[in-house]
Chain A
């Protein structure tokens, strides 16, 4: 019997026995739960799901999910996932990683994944810090955060606005979740998987170890009510006015999905004919 025929209803069935390396209280635990919950809800066969990641604390996630997975190299999660999805369109491909992985070293791929619009879900666990390398500023860190020895006066650089950039780059599904609200997050993940195209979920996922002040997020994050928006101009204004603490599906719009074109019917021998004198 194929596993796809088996009844997989419990989220915990999608967890492996590998023990997460995460610190107690790390927001990434909730993301892991939300993913397994979404997979269980959708009754996806384990072997038909692939979780792809880069490098960072958050990027360790695939090993904890009992699906296919690839823990790649720092910043390259999106091309790794794109290559897989292009050749295996029937798989459910979920890319995951941190803010450093996705917006700094992988920033170029981020923009191009938004505009290429290959059908996949991308979950960014944004803790506004580099957790794995022990607490340096990330692209989403506030300019005046001076707790890292590497930038003792703060970065002095205004933070990267991932959602505005995703919108400008052409993403059609833009959401923000919060580790403190795993139910909402798993709903967002289901919607993202169902969305045909590149779906971005930015998750506010606290790093209590290097950003203990993020424990306060549970008092700051709120579900936004006037969303989702479908018009890019409105969405741009909304995002510009937002303080980064509103959660929910912010923008939803259909865009043409990248698809490989085939005109099949030829053989290699046909192709070799062209060389003949």
Chain B
């Protein structure tokens, strides 16, 4: 059933106004108060001091995506706000908090139904030494949300810990001044919310991927900076060091992919992270990992494409490239996390599968996961078989690519006596000696393909949420980051009395066809949902015969996020709201 205790808040501001800091503080404060939250970001094109918007959503339960509309909008100023208007849909009851002294809102904003709460944010900030409008604004929001001064204190301490005492006390004073702008005695917006007592985490999607990588045993990362993947690398660099691993900043993605192949050849689980343009450069290297059977994991944090595209915004448009990018018949794995928490599990699983199957795995995260931050339940460790089969105590002739029942050949790690061989991207025979013979090519192609197809991937290939009814009215089939939005849409459809099944696919390639068939069986109406223009997932499923001919498609490109209402409208054909 849909859970209703939630609120969505946008904070916007031009360069230097501190919208992002404000969002981080409020997120931490709501976490301290015992709630869950999600903070997504949207940035303008400026490098530094550009306008930015944070899209917050809070609830007394774990959240999986953005809402349809925003209830509150804190505008720190109106400069360049047009850039974000599309991303902040409002409703009749929405309230816009701003200060008339900061100027007139543009027509795109005044033209909406929302009510304005005019407050003297600027003057109030001026009453505090070092006080800033963003802090006064959070004070207002904190009071409306029913957060205590003590809670704000803790949140500030944690979020601004590296800013020094003066900033911390000025911020607190400004927040308290802002809190006083809200009439005392007003009912807090969280009045009837449940307070969580268990432990929770404040984690970003990129950190979640990083953590999954470490849990999977990754101890070497080589990478080249790119938005929106860089902050994963920035999180990994110091944390890898702490546990004896290494991150190397490469000269480009051609280098980073080959560095991780080299490191993995040396016996160490290795990973790189990038975004679309970098993935394009890595394809030849991924093919090398596949052909030489060297385990690697590539996390691709997707952004708007093609070419340089829209670096700061989300889209699921690299699916085709991840599936089909490497030349030749190059069987590999493609996985996608279904949300921020799931990025821990999926990345760990991807690393484990790469190690176990001695192949390349591509993880398709995206900006809406990577650069978002959420308050979630702690992600427990999952037991997985992560070990690479290595050759030890070698007796007699070592054959690196020897044929085995499961297609996996024990790998001799340099340093192993009598295991010397030359790994090769050239087609080779069982020993590894280059060969252009038809028989060797056939045998090795089959081996590399079968080892993936013969593996039982278990139940983790997808998350399936079905009602009790034997046959669902609606079946929503989706993948990756939009799974959360689809689930929320499904909840609303259930509230309207429909029976709905959601199949959110985590393992995109190889797709377990029989399990997919079972999951879809009997569904009356199937909708395939994805965040790209050309319906890449839908066409992939069609090409595999995984969905019936009458399945329909909801494919919409970024940069605007998919929203739950869109799912409902598409499914029922009725206008939502």
Q: Which residues of chain A have a CB within 8 Å of any CB of chain B?
A: 2-4, 18, 45-48, 50-52, 60, 62-63, 66-73, 75-76, 78-88, 90-91, 108-109, 111-112, 260-268, 270-272, 275-277
Contact = CB atoms under 8 A, between A and B. Distances in A.
B121 interface: no
B211 interface: yes
Given A47-B419, A79-B262, A91-B414, 16 more contacts: A47-B420, A67-B420, A70-B292, A72-B262, A73-B425, A76-B255, A76-B285, A83-B220, A83-B222, A83-B258, A85-B262, A87-B268, A88-B266, A275-B203, A275-B207, A277-B31
A79 B259 contact: yes
Contacts of A50: 266, 414
Contact of B219 (A85, A87, A277): A87
B255 A69 contact: no
Contacts of A69: 420-423
A70 B428 CA distance: 13
Contacts of B244: 262, 264
B250 interface: yes
Q: Chain B at the A interface: mostly helix, strand, loop or mixed?
A: mixed
Interface string B135-150: 0000000000000000
A134 B246 CA distance: 41
Contact of A80 (B207, B262, B287, B422): B262
Interface of B: 28, 31-32, 199-203, 207, 211, 214-215, 219-220, 222, 239, 241-246, 248, 250-252, 254-268, 270, 284-285, 287-288, 292, 375, 378, 412, 414-426, 432-434
Contacts of A82: 248, 255, 259, 262
8 contacts: A46-B420, A51-B422, A70-B261, A83-B220, A83-B261, A83-B270, A108-B251, A277-B202
Contact of A87 (B251, B254, B267): B267
Contact of A63 (B220, B242, B251, B434): B434
B201 A276 contact: yes
B258 A72 contact: yes
Nearest to A77: B258
A18 to B, nearest CB: 6
Contacts, number: 184
A108 B417 contact: no
B243 A266 contact: yes
Nearest to B426: A71
Contacts of A262: 241, 244-246
A211 to B, nearest CB: 25
A48 B242 contact: no
A263 B239 contact: no
Contacts of A76: 254-255, 258, 285
Contact of B415 (A48, A71, A79): A48
Contact of A267 (B28, B207, B243, B422): B243
Contacts of B219: 87
Contact of B288 (A62, A72, A270): A72
A261 B241 contact: yes
B201 A70 contact: no
Given A50-B414, A262-B244, A275 B201 contact: yes
A277 B200 contact: yes
B420 A79 contact: no
A245 B564 CA distance: 72
A98 to B, nearest CB: 16
Contacts of A75: 254
B415 to A, nearest CB: 6
Given A76-B258, A87-B268, A71 B202 contact: no
A50 B419 CA distance: 12
A1 to B, nearest CB: 8
B331 to A, nearest CB: 18
B170 to A, nearest CB: 24
A71 B414 contact: no
Nearest to B220: A87
Contacts of A62: 422
A95 B21 CA distance: 48
Which of A67, A112, A271 has the largest number of chain B CB atoms within 10 A? A271
B386 to A, nearest CB: 13
A84 B265 contact: yes
Contacts of A78: 255
A260 B214 CA distance: 17
A41 to B, nearest CB: 19
B366 to A, nearest CB: 21
A84 B414 contact: yes
Nearest to B196: A277
B17 to A, nearest CB: 27
The 4 lowest CB-CB distance pairs between A and B, nearest first, are A83-B262, A69-B422, A83-B259, A83-B263
Contacts of B426: 71
A266 to B, nearest CB: 4
Given A72-B261, A271-B243, A277 B375 contact: yes
A194 B263 CA distance: 22
Contacts of A263: 241-242
Contact of A268 (B32, B215, B241): B215
Given A47-B416, A270-B242, A84 B207 contact: no
Contacts of B220: 83, 86-87
B267 A88 contact: yes
